[in-house]
Amino acid sequence: MAVEKLFKDEATEEKGERARMASFVGAMAIADLVKTTLGPKGMDKILQSTGRGHSVTVTNDGATILKSLHIDNPAAKVLIDISKVQDDEVGDGTTSVVVLAGELLREAEKLVGSKIHPMTIISGFRMAADRARKALLDRVMDNKDDAEKFRSDLMRIAMTTLSSKILSQDKEHFAKLAVDAVMRLKGSTNLEAIQIIKKAGGSLKDSFLDEGFILDKKIGLGQPKRIENANILVANTAMDTDKVKIYGARVRVDSMAKVAQIEGAEKEKMREKVQKIIGHGINCFVNRQLIYNFPEELFADAGILAIEHADFEGIERLALVTGGEIASTFDNPESVKLGHCKLIEEIMIGEDKLIHFSGVEMGQACTIVLRGASFHVLDEAERSLHDALCVLSQTVNDSRVLLGGGWPEMVMAKAVDELARKTPGKKSHAIEAFSRALIAIPTTIADNAGLDSAELVAQLRAEHHKEDSNAGIDVITGTVGDMSELGISEAFKVKQAVLLSATEAAEMILRVDEIITCAPRRREDRM
């Protein structure tokens, strides 16, 4: 008996078949969970946290859904991971990647059941993925030389990305916003320069893109509301030391007059600091920390706009956008880089006053102001827009474009099928299974739209056996349609990432033959 016991109490292990079952089932369950959010007719999920305040998130974004799940199954965690990576890497396709990996495992389970070794399946999958990628490369379109066409490609991609999200009603409006914002970046994928401000109220249609930078703050009292040709000093420094804080400091004095003296000295110190700051020749001072009334008064007298408590992200962005640097000491004005912009003024959005910096140094910068009925709508709109911005900024760099709507999957499936027929041996079963898994994506898109998926996919397949077909699923009419006429496009980079990540994740889970869960550590009684 003593020999058998290898692990501590409560540690468990699953071997062979059972381990594989556990990982397959977990992965497939995760895939089925997000499956219904795929495609233009995909549904949203409500996620409610059990923490304080029971915050509610309504979302359609695969990565967001999976991030919020707490899951015990190790294989399911692998899938959650790939969807996170997909989100960071290209921003969109988070659902597709999980669905594809789940389908690959579903197919693999059947193969393992019919006594094909996992390694054989893996090498088949490898060959198939490679072939599928080549098939996409053959059919890819690239319009980066023709600016007009490229812009319309970007619009199409943005509209396709947004059509499965909450913004699908006004997708043209938002696609235009996203494309304008990304075109201003001129090829950098740094989305920091695009700021998204959410203001509840109005409807989603009222959202707009603003050239320049908007800081979510009010302008202080008695200060100029409008400054032209501003020189901006962005700082992170304490401007609240002109009063003695009673509870913080212990000062022993023998009369009240002495306290007044101390206060006077503090005030002088403050005044000197303010003089130093004004000495930089600025007319706008933005501080990360608060500014008391006294320094504020001094700034107002000097005709300088002082903004306090700018949130940190706002400050970093502001420094980035106006071309300044964040300063914390003011002794040598020549070494501090000031920011510049043409005009600072106060604007109203809904009920709130905001400060608007226009004509900034960095031409790339812009602000998208989202309006919407409730905070949930705004959050989801921001996520959707972020997806679109990511995809577009990636596409600007890698301008290869594919059609959408299940077309790329069918192209890949066809190529993979042909490979399966040529390949001798057991691998061919795995390769065939890969093509079946690819077809699961158009099938899911059709299923979510409540269409007869078997019928549609069969028609699609027949269409694709003709040379150079553009057929995909047209969800709106519920038929097989021409994707290039409908203007449904996707970025090549997204599809490639989906294909490769899904294959690798499936491969990883397939390699598992034992799951060991370690025993929880016991707390010793210290009493």
Whether 95 is catalytic is yes
Whether 479 is catalytic is no
User: CB neighbours of 184 closer than 8 A, spacing ≥ 6?
Assistant: 193, 211, 363, 364, 365, 366
User: CB neighbours of 524 closer than 8 A, spacing ≥ 6?
Assistant: none
Tell me which of 387, 417, 447, 474 is the catalytic residue: 387
Six token digits for residue 361: 């140094």
Six token digits for residue 203: 């409807």
- The Cα–Cα gap between 420 and 54 comes to 51
The answer to whether 282 touches 292, Cβ cutoff 8 Å, is: no
Residue 76, SS3? helix
The answer to whether 263 touches 246, Cβ cutoff 8 Å, is: no
Please give the biggest Cα pair distance in the chain.
101
CA 156 from chain center: how many Å? 19
Whether 477 is catalytic is no
- The Cα–Cα gap between 308 and 85 comes to 37
Six token digits for residue 107: 């197919």
User: CB neighbours of 320 closer than 8 A, spacing ≥ 6?
Assistant: 192, 193, 362, 365
Whether 138 is catalytic is no
- Residue 327 main-chain phi, psi, to 5 deg: -110, 150
516 - beta bridge partners? 13
The answer to whether 98 touches 20, Cβ cutoff 8 Å, is: no
Tell me which of 37, 59, 64, 94 is the catalytic residue: 94
Radius of gyration over every alpha carbon of the chain, rounded to an integer in angstroms:
30
Place of tokens 């306290």: 259
The answer to whether 31 touches 99, Cβ cutoff 8 Å, is: yes
Tell me which of 36, 37, 57, 61 is the catalytic residue: 61
The answer to whether 76 touches 29, Cβ cutoff 8 Å, is: yes
352 - beta bridge partners? 349
DSSP letter for 239, please.
Answer: B
Residues annotated as catalytic (active site), given as ranges: 61, 94-95, 387
